[in-house]
Amino acid sequence: MLHKPNTNKNFAVIEFKLTSNIDEIEKDFKKLIAFKYELNYEYLIEIIIGDENSLKNAKERIYSSLNDPNGEKIILIEFNTNSWRANDYEIKYKSTSPDSK
């Protein structure tokens, strides 16, 4: 979490996920959204770590099942363990759970 100490200024919250645990990513997205609504964090960031092929599969899966044009913006950063490079993109995520805001 990035915030200004002793203030209510919350800048960013960051979650990390290995592509081998991509089934757990929606839990991270729900946590990120909760930080936005409950603690007013401005930026929501998910860092996904894996090789080129697993990152490609993860991105396709995220876009096909978790992207919602009416949702909240989440910045995704892919860290490729083959090339040691990072790429970023954004999605919009909207929780379908009854307790979502």
The b-or-e profile of 34-56 (16+ CB within 10 A means b, else e) is bbbeeeebebbbbbbbbeeebbe
pTM of the model: 0.88
| Dihedral pair phi/psi, residue 46, rounded to 5° | -120, 125
pLDDT tens digit string along 17-51?
999 999 999 999 999 999 999 999 999 999 999 99
51 versus 4: the higher-pLDDT residue is 51
H helix intervals, the chain: 25-39, 52-65
